[in-house]
A and B are shown apart, each in its own frame.
Chain A
Amino acid sequence: MKAKDIALDGLFRQNPTLKLVLGTCPTLALTTAAMNGVGMGLAVTFVLIFSNAIISLLRNVIPSKVRIPAYILIIATFVTITRMVLNKFLPSISASLGTYLPLIVVNCIIIGRAEAFASKNPVLSSALDGLFMGLGFMFALTLMGIFREILGSGSVFGVKLWDFSIGFFVQPAGALFTYAIFIAVYSLVYSAFLRAANERKNKDGLAVKGARGNA
């Protein structure tokens, strides 16, 4: 698989949050502030890159019957390392992510990518898949965080913009509402993207047929 396809899949075509609807628990709970989205996204990206790489490296060694416990062991190790690093260097982000940080171990995106991609692909592709899936997750969480923080708290990345705020958007119901809006917008954009791609393909097909006909 080409690097460009891996990047496009992670960031857009197979975006874990907006297309695959994975990792919804931290998505709904943590997007009350944009900074939480960045912090959670970075943590997940780190875990995804390294767990994907190691799982890919060991894909021919781990017996298929115990692959899930083995993946969880590897993922838990990297989550613990992430937690230690955040505690040491970014304690405020670590505190704001709270219990969702250790819960990355059971995040469907990570175990999903381990099972669907890393266990079948070479190391470099798997690490790239981890990077772009993580960035796609971070991108979606940060956008949702910006949206909810602006409307719910009247600030963005902690910087106060105005006194006006709609408390609903930082409530759990506001999280679901925001998520629905984002998925709807994503679906619209994705449909337009697919239509454009199909039209391009048809045009190219016609051009090839025309060229063959002329020949």
Chain B
Amino acid sequence: MAKAKETTLRCVTTLAVIAVVCALLLSVLNSVLYVSATPDDLIGLYSAVDGYEWEVVDVNDDQPYSGGKVILVAKGTMDGKDDYLGLLVQTEKNGKLNESTYAMFINMNTDALEYAAFVTEGATGGFNWQYAKEHSKSGDQVSTGATALTGLLSGDKSNSQAAWREWESFYGVITDQTALDYTDAVPAKTGATRTVTATYDAFNIVARYYYDNFVKGE
């Protein structure tokens, strides 16, 4: 009995020591090898801003947002064309879904969110972005998010509420299909519901960030 206990203790101690050493090594290397986001990460994602010059704007992290954070803000300019704001949003790890990064482009002249795209998708199985677009009741989620954002920024409460409802309906549709529609045509996927939540969070964060930093103070 005593020998068994001793063996168990030795096993646990060995694993714990190896785990601690590995974690320490990785945390040291992480600070050396960490790759921070740059405006280059925005290039090539949205054809309407091809050729734009991007200038980094300091990220304002005074205001915490639920579900993630803005990791890069850059202002895109080009002679004679609308100014754009490019944002990278990183959503938090949520269960089996790892951190995801989204790029979002806001036309600063119209205050409309024109385009959104995954930079890195944290789903462990392939969440199908195209499928989500095709099965959203109110158009693809990018335009739905843009409508909601425009409604939010317009100051018109009823317009804003309608837009938010539309956004929520998009959210519901994608969540429901996880269990029902998807299984027929496409292999089952992992982390889809959490991906939808992360997408929803990303839109929310961008909308609030843009409103707090570029609209409210004007």
Contact = CB atoms under 8 A, between A and B. Distances in A.
A14 interface: no
B26 A63 contact: no
Contacts, number: 42
B33 A77 contact: no
Q: Chain B at the A interface: mostly helix, strand, loop or mixed? A: helix
Interface of B: 7, 10-11, 14-15, 18-19, 22, 25-26, 29-30, 33-35
B125 to A, nearest CB: 10
Q: Chain A at the B interface: mostly helix, strand, loop or mixed? A: helix
A20 interface: no
Contacts of A62: 14, 18
Interface stretch (A83-91, A122-130, A171-179): A83-91
A69 interface: yes
Contact of B18 (A73, A85, A87): A73
Nearest to A85: B33
Contacts of B35: 87-88, 91
Interface residues of A, number: 19
B29 A63 contact: no
Given A63-B10, A80-B26, 7 more contacts: A77-B22, A81-B29, A84-B29, A84-B30, A84-B33, A84-B34, A88-B33
Q: What are the 7 A-B residue pairs with the smallest beta carbon separation, nearest first?
A: A84-B33, A77-B22, A66-B11, A88-B33, A63-B11, A73-B18, A87-B35
Interface in A55-97: 58, 61-63, 65-66, 69-70, 73-74, 76-77, 80-81, 84-85, 87-88, 91
Contact of A77 (B11, B26, B34): B26
Given A73-B18, A74-B18, A77-B25, A65 B30 contact: no
B11 A65 contact: yes
Contacts of B14: 61-63, 66, 70
Among A62, A63, A69, A76, chain B packs the most CB atoms within 10 A around the CB of A63
10 contacts: A63-B7, A69-B15, A70-B15, A84-B29, A84-B30, A84-B33, A85-B33, A87-B33, A88-B35, A91-B35
Contact of A66 (B15, B26, B29): B15
Contacts of A81: 25-26, 29, 33
B7 A65 contact: yes
B124 to A, nearest CB: 8
A47 to B, nearest CB: 13
Contact of A73 (B10, B19, B29, B33): B19
Contacts of B33: 81, 84-85, 87-88
Contacts of A65: 7, 11
A58 B17 CA distance: 12
B15 A76 contact: no
Nearest to B13: A63
A60 to B, nearest CB: 11
A76 B26 CA distance: 10
A73 B26 contact: no
Contacts of B7: 63, 65
A87 to B, nearest CB: 5
B6 to A, nearest CB: 11
A73 B22 CA distance: 8
Contacts of A85: 33
